[in-house]
Amino acid sequence: MRKIRLIIGREIKSKLKNKTFIIMTILAPLLITGFLAFMIKMTQSEKTEQNVLVIDDSQLFKDKLVGNDYISLSFSNDKLENAVEKFSDKGYSCLLWISPNLIEGGAGATQLYYKKSPGFAFQTYIKDQMERIIYENKLKANNIDPNIISNSKQSIKIILKKVDDEGNKKDQTSFGLFGFLTGALMFMFILMYGMMVFRSVMEEKTSRIVEVIVSSVKPFELMLGKIIGVAILGIIQFLIMGLITFILTTALSTLFLKDASAQLKVFQDQQEMVKKNGTNVNLSQLEKFDDKLEMFDLLQKLQEIDFGKVFICFILYFIFGYLFYSSIMAAIGSAVDSEADSQQFITPVMIPLMIGYFIATKTIMDPDSSTVFWGSIIPFTSPIVMMSRITNGVPTWELVLSLSILFVSFIFTTWLAGKIYRTGILMYGKKTSWREIGKWLFYK
């Protein structure tokens, strides 16, 4: 045991001294949250002040087309030709011209002149308003009350209720994407640390130090120490990355999503009220959040996820799944002399991982299909597939079954890998084949 501890210690220390490793540990969460922030920022359009001169030759929009916090509109009866020359000198950022034959649908009926592009959001803002005004205008022209139209629109949300074996009904929201992301993360982690074990084994073999070490410890102890060392390293890295990501996303969400959370609260209270009072509620008094429903959906899902359970399962599946794959990787690392030779052995190991990844994508659309079920039981794919299912609620017996099978399988692969490893590390010069490895299993 003392020797295994020494090996574990060295494995961890050698990586912790590695600058790339440290930089990656800190940089990866920064990059992830940075990317997320960037995406959010991109969806929230920039609000630059726009001072717009409007020449409305159609006479439809005066007093109806309005500005907002950052868009101010001034109507003018000037001629377009004159205005185009002078609008920027007069302090307007752009000039909107609406032709008299707009309602007949003439081409080029609305034109925007500018020196500096006011951006897409501005265009959408103006365009949406104009379309609505014309729509109402046309309805009125045909003597139709716009309220009838808007009241006959009804949006529907399907609420999912999962009935488990005991007959309990449980509100079920689809966590597909979040589940998939956890599965994908598992895929990445197993692959990353599996490769780390592979490299570490190969490094010892090619530098030939392995023969000195195995004259002091049993090859199996060396392999185990290495695998456990990298596993501890992985968990440390996962925790550090997780912590940094958590801090950053919390900071980020208070920055960007504070309003949204407050609005969500109002929205949820209103829904509660409607549920209680039924149709007696005066709907017109309620705040309307039509454009924010998607975001609310996401926020609500996040609030409902049992992060503790996800976290524990992730750690368990990572440990077992990692041990399962890394022992195979260690065996391969011991069998080859160079990274170039290793491809033929790594590919067959990658394939089941890839399959797991693809089944995980299937859980988004079809979380209860039999492919997904078997994928989450069979040890080659179960860490990835089960993680992608976990947020959807998995019966306990399935979890226990899947984890037990994975546990037994990793014991088996570790035992098998140990047999290959102790012969492989001392084999040089020969190009290894699967057949050769098969023979090693029977050496004394």
Choice from 140, 218, 265, 288 touching another protein (CB under 8 A): 218
If binding means CB under 8 A, how many residues of this protein chain bind another protein? Answer: 27
- Determine, following the binding rule CB under 8 A, whether residue 16 of this chain makes contact with another protein: no
* Region at 208 (left for phi over 0; alpha for psi -120 to 50; beta for the rest): left
Residue from 36, 109, 133, 217 that binds another protein (CB under 8 A)? 217
The least distance separating another protein from the CB of residue 46, rounded to whole angstroms, comes to: 48
Amino acid at 368: D
CB of 160 to another protein, least distance (A): 54
Nearer to another protein, 8 or 241 (CB): 8
Q: Which of 205, 431, 399 is nearest to 320 (CA)?
A: 399
Let me know: does 317 contact 406? Beta carbons within 8 Å.
Answer: yes
How many whole angstroms separate alpha carbon 174 and alpha carbon 302?
11
**30-35 own/partner pairs: CB under 8 Å, 24+ apart:** 30/244, 30/248, 32/245, 33/245, 33/248, 33/249, 33/252
Using DSSP bridges, classify how beta strands 160-163 and 169-172 pair: parallel, antiparallel or unpaired.
Answer: antiparallel
- Which position among 141, 159, 212, 340 is part of the footprint of another protein (CB under 8 A)? 212
DSSP state of 106: -
Closest CA to 359 of 101, 112, 230, 187: 187
**CA gap 437, 443 in Å, rounded:** 10
Look up residue 161 and give its DSSP letter. E
Interface with another protein, residue 215, by CB under 8 A: yes
Q: Does 349 bind another protein (CB under 8 A)?
A: no
Our finding on whether 386 is near another protein (CB under 8 A) is no
Tell the smallest beta-carbon distance from residue 332 to another protein (Å).
19
Q: Does 224 bind another protein (CB under 8 A)?
A: no
When asked if residue 12 is in the footprint of another protein (CB under 8 A), the reply is no
Between 19 and 153, whose beta carbon lies closer to another protein? 19
Residue 372 engages another protein in binding (rule: CB under 8 A): no
50-56 vs 94-98, strand pairing mode:
parallel
Residue 134 is a binding residue for another protein (CB under 8 A): no
Stretch that binds another protein, among 6-14, 174-182, 243-251, 325-333 (CB under 8 A): 6-14
Quick one: 44 or 215, whose CB is closer to another protein? 215
**CA-wise closest residue to 196 among 229, 236, 239, 244:** 229
The span of 9-17, 94-102, 269-277, 292-300 binding another protein (CB under 8 A) equals 9-17
Q: Give the 3-state secondary structure of residue 324.
A: helix
> Which helix (DSSP H) or strand (DSSP E) does residue 74 occupy?
strand 71-76
The CB-of-37 to another protein minimum distance in angstroms stands at: 36
Selected range binding another protein among 212-220, 320-328, 344-352, 361-369, rule: CB under 8 A? 212-220
Site residues (CB under 8 A) for another protein? 3, 6-7, 10, 13-14, 203-204, 207-219, 422, 426, 428, 439, 443-444
